[in-house]
Chains A and B, each alone.
Chain A
Amino acid sequence: MKTRRIALTVNGETVEREVPVRQNLVDFLRHDLGFTGSHVGCEQGACGACTVVLDDQTVRGCLVLAVQADGATVETIEGVQLDDLRAAFHRLNALQCGFCTPGMLLSARELLRDNPNPSRQQIRDYLSGNFCRCTGYQAIVDAVETVALERLP
């Protein structure tokens, strides 16, 4: 098995590891660093459960090799502040099993950063890459919309 040494910043801490070159970023974060909040669903970029933040942008953790993240800054659900979003998801029943929730929260956080006052359709479009098999999405869109309205001055 071929390996390569990488150094990157994960949730504010510098880490240096020898990784298999074929290992994807989400497996590295989960297995090597223990950040198991990022989930592994389809491993083909469809479901969004593995969403993490790479250099300030959400990415599919399964569609980035760990070696490609060499030198980058990575944030996972464990490393970001999203108190009001998390509370709104809880309050409005925007999750059941929770498998998609870390990815949903990171995508919703990014949407509200870039577009603080999105329409419901814009919320649906932005979250279209995150699959939820429990809720039917209605409550998730409600939660994101509620937080957007609460944050408006």
Chain B
Amino acid sequence: MNPAARSADGSRRVLLMLLLPGLVALGVTFVLPLLWLFRASFASSAIGAFSGGDWTLSSYETVLTDPFYWLVAWNTLVLGFNVAVFTVILSYPIALFLARTESRWRGVLTALAVAPLLTSSVVRTYGWMVILGDQGVINSTLQALSLTDGVVRLTNNSFGATVALIEIFMPYAILAMLSGFGRLNTQLEEAAAMLGANRLKVFTRIILPLSLPGVLTAALLVFVLAISAFVTPRLMGGGRVFVLGTEVYNEATVTLNWPLAAALSVLLLVLFSSVIVIYQRALRALEA
């Protein structure tokens, strides 16, 4: 073996050694539980989910043949879609401003935009309950101004869950967009303006296409976060929002049907991965 090959071999070994702790940690905390979850979804009884035993497809049969679970899956996708669209629309101007501003406060402003991440999403959900509740800020203002007679139901339904999720995911969307806005270049905008393009045209022909990768990444990120959300839909939905996350929780802790909960989780994973695959295909096609 020549020295060059040996050193390449050696550096590969070093690389492997460096990766090992991370791989082991991932394997123990992520891959192993996932395999176990997969196994549990084929168990015939709650106890079988732990101790092995027989294999059966009955949980999948339940999930796939019961129209209610199709409805739940549909609700989950609709919630994810709505949240992703509105989060992106609301975050886009903020991200664009932060990316283009030359203010010396830029760092501070960016920090402010993502500061909500310092607070747990549970706390922020409770904040929204205070704002949207029957005796919350909005309802008491409306009543004080005599704009409404009774209470306007703003929470304990999917509207409340959607609103809270949008606000909670906005910092993620802003961060994802900022990192995806690398291709934005003010010189291009100036050139377009010099050639006679008005501001709208500059936006639609230059800024929007160049920022699209960031926008699409943010949309995907928020969509995936939203369809796996559990706490906010549960607290803000008043029990009326049935999504995969809440159903998994119910089956696992209330009715103790662990195999069914596992099968629903696998379904959620399948949903995730198909969305990501389709999305990345589309993204690549768009960029080509």
Chains A and B form a bound pair? no
Residues of A bordering B, CB below 8 Å: none
Residues of B bordering A, CB below 8 Å: none
